[in-house]
Structure 1
């Protein structure tokens, strides 16, 4: 059912009630032959009086000198008309209406006769001045707005009727269903059948579980490459391949580098020299280190007093080989990557969070990670970085989560789903999200005032999370809000408001 269906139904019923009111107020000509029942709906406007209590009256709506509307006076407000004086024969004022010549309650908007053939008496403005002072203090008779089902079912009628069991529908008078302060009153039986439930507004820390997708990536700080700083030739690659796990110092390949061999020969020559010039020896050693010669290679020269023909190149760290480009016999240029090694004992999960949740993110917030390929495993970590820019195309912010991966279960580019526990320990006023009725421009809640009384209240909302929403204004901890069947109460409120609005339009006519 479309969300506007209850309101359309309410307006249709209100239009039906208004049509009945119009028909009743304009059927004076038929009253003599078909007397109407004394119902509140048959209460026509007789004239209009001065809004500030003056003696002036008018047959038609008008305004006074200050622009105030004249007030309508209905038949029910003036009671029996027998106390009105007989009209003077010389009066030239146009009659406002005509009354029963015997002092009865019947009136007419045009000249007519009673059952005995006596003319109805005209009532002019001068005749009413005696009772105008009473009109300003006399309470107005209540009108019947509609008739409701006697069993509390959601069925109303514009005219009297009976239900399927022969019980009369109960009239609802003006002001009975809505109190002076705007509260709505509903029968207890109907509240119970509709399943209306209410909760106290509470202060609580608001935690939002932000669920976002992402992928596993290598920790940039734990990646190393194997490359020479001079031209070299690969003599032999060790038995390691892409994906193999290696350890720091493990041989990866044997290389021959002319530059390293020349520097090693100089180092050996100065080491064997008798002059004992340690400065020159240290300079040659520094040249070997600049060429990134392994320390084990330099130590072997000092120990064996000879220059090895080739260099055994070791792994710079523990990790997994992500890339191998070295092959036996190839020539490697200076800086060319031969191996790329990554330590996967700690990995990153990079996730993209919607822009609307960006303000909730904080470094250090706990995160739960679930991998699609490992449905039974839950990995825990913390937010380590919230990237400072928003993606222009996706309107998302990137978040980095650091995860321990000792058993290397998580692999680079694996798809994961993250659940970030965003929030803080601050106690704020919250209400259940089910209590909020959002109309687009504003948000409302229904307060349960007890004894079947409900009051709509406009609220200002803030953050949301875990089924609750922050209420920045409009509620406090003493309020009870309706959390179930609130849309049913709201639709009934709309119906009654529509009836009263249209009835008010008829009053102005």
Structure 2
């Protein structure tokens, strides 16, 4: 091998291994290698070095791969070995003509752009943004590979019947309109109490106790005297007053009818139950003295009860009087009791931020007991179908709601929408979307972040262009 070839190879090795200049051979190395090339072409067929596949000023004396996995290009002896930096490859031509670069953006996603090629502080090249990729409709375009890696999925907006259910806890309470109290209106003595205790179910008219009252005996005697008077006018004038006096003393109608029939003053008066129901309270004791106003019995009709339900403040606007409610008692799993909202109390609990709602329930078999815990389900959904999308499709910032419309071929358009009711995993879309339009339901947060970044970069690029 000639001395010129040896010098040329050495010069090339020194130039490639140089850490300071790295990309370029020295002038002397280029001259020696150029001299050596014609002679070596006849004796050696192997490559004399390897260069970057994209034409960038990176070289190697041995086979090597680029960062993307492609092999360096072998340069044989006699090839055109220009060590000047090569220009970036021209963008591929399209049907409309060659694509033009609008600007270059930071490879790490930072809000920094440049009108000319540039490197960041880590030596990474800025990414070119071509016309067409940066559309003015606010959409963002993703490559098929990125769509597959991020797991982007779309679903078509379509009419659905949304079932919205409000669930709230509550307790069973007595219907206050179905409670009766037995109290004396005059001084009385309890002579005998029937075999009735607290919790006993009684029927209307069933005997509860026998009492003696001098006021009742006096009113009965007066009424009998009036009825037996021979003066007809006197009976009509004073008879009504005497009978009303007995009514005012709360004497049962059956006792008054017996007085009219027998025309005798009863020694004791039977007091009976005023309605069907459960004895909630018994204070009467044989031989006791009862003062006016003393409650001796309290009876409640439990065939209809109330479910006092606590509805969250945020759901109060969906609740209305007359809505159907399904109530489930924790004591009877699997069983439902049908009810109707009767009253929405006009007050909010400041501690729990709930409103009290009264639900009337039929309790024919009397299994629902006062203070029993229940769970209510209020169906506030509409019966007609509305345009809806999955809940995951809606991006809610708190001040606005939007979806990403899949325009096809990797392009996605952010679009603001107005939403309505929710339920069964779907949200009603009242405005901003048409029936049949596909929306992104998975990985939409990633696309939204890309869209926001794209908008920021576009603003910076527009302001930075001359």
Measured in 2, the distance between the counterparts of 1:106 and 1:486 equals 40
Cross-structure match for 1:261: 217
Query: For 2:135, what is the secondary structure of its paired residue?
Result: coil
Q: Which residue among 158, 169, 186 is the counterpart of 1:230?
A: 186
Residue 41 of structure 2: aligned partner:
none
Aligned residues: 373
TM-score scaled by structure 2? 0.69
Do residues 463 (structure 1) and 421 (structure 2) align? Answer: yes
Task: State the SS of the aligned residue for 1:376.
Answer: coil
SS of the residue 1:423 aligns to: coil
Residues 277-332 of structure 1, C-alpha deviations (whole Å, 9 max, x = no match): 42233321221112111122122223333222111100000001112222222222
Match of 1:46 in 2: none
CA gap 1:232/1:382 in 2 versus in 1, 3 angstroms: same
Alignment of 1:365-384 (within 5 A): 365-384=323-342
Q: Confirm whether residue 292 of structure 1 aligns to residue 250 of structure 2.
A: yes
2:144 to 161, 185, 188: 188
Q: Residue 143 and residue 273 in structure 1: after superposition, are their counterparts in 2 closer, same or farther (change >3 A)? A: closer
Equivalence for 1:252? 208
The answer for the alignment partner of 1:128 in structure 2 is: none
1:139 offset after TM fit, Å?
8.0
Q: Which residue of 2 aligns with 1:141?
A: 101
Counterpart CA distance in 2 for 1:141 and 1:484 is: 32
Pair 1:442–1:41, CA change in 2 (3 A): farther
C-alpha contact (below 8 Å) 2:341/2:360 kept by paired residues: yes
Q: How far apart in 1 are the matches of 2:150 and 2:332?
A: 45
Shift of 1:393: 3.8
Q: Which of 166, 170, 174 is matched with 1:210 structurally?
A: 166
Q: Is the 8 A contact 2:163 2:381 kept in 1?
A: yes
| Equivalent residue number for residue 57 of structure 1 | none
Q: Map of 1:83-482 to 2, 5 A cutoff?
A: 140-141=100-101, 145=105, 173-174=129-130, 178-276=134-232, 277-279=234-236, 280-425=238-383, 427-482=385-440
* C-alpha distance in structure 2 between counterparts of 1:192 and 1:141, whole Å: 26
Q: SS of the residue aligned with 1:356?
A: helix
> Could you report, residue by residue, the CA deviation over 1:319-356 in whole angstroms, capped at 9, with x for unpaired residues?
01112222222222222221111111111111121222
Post-superposition offset of 1:495: 5.8
Structure 2 CA distance, aligned partners of 1:233 and 1:369?
A: 46
Measured in 1, the distance between the counterparts of 2:373 and 2:56 equals 70
Q: Aligned partners of 1:194, 1:494: CA distance in 2, in Å?
A: 17
- Counterpart-to-counterpart distance in 2, 1:231 and 1:178: 97
Separation (CA, whole Å) in 2 of partners of 1:182 and 1:34? 47
Closer/same/farther in 2, CA of residues 172 and 473 from structure 1, 3 Å limit: same
Q: CA deviation at 1:204?
A: 4.2
Q: Measured at CA, do residues 189 and 144 of structure 1 come closer, stay the same or move farther in structure 2, by a change above 3 Å? A: same
CA distance in 2 between counterparts of 1:332 and 1:317 reads 22
Distance in 2 between residues matched to 1:34 and 1:344, nearest whole Å: 103
Q: In structure 2, what is the Cα distance between the partners aligned to 1:237 and 1:409?
A: 28
CA RMSD of aligned residues (A): 3.9
Q: Could you say if the C-alpha distance between residues 453 and 396 of structure 1 is closer, same or farther in structure 2, counting changes exceeding 3 Å? A: same
Q: Displacement of 1:467 after TM fit? A: 2.3
Change (3 A) 1:417 1:393: same
Is this contact kept in 1: 2:101–2:130, CA < 8 A?
no
Q: Provide the rounded CA distance (Å) in 2 between the counterparts of 1:419 and 1:388.
A: 21
- Cα deviation, residue 233, structure 1: 1.5
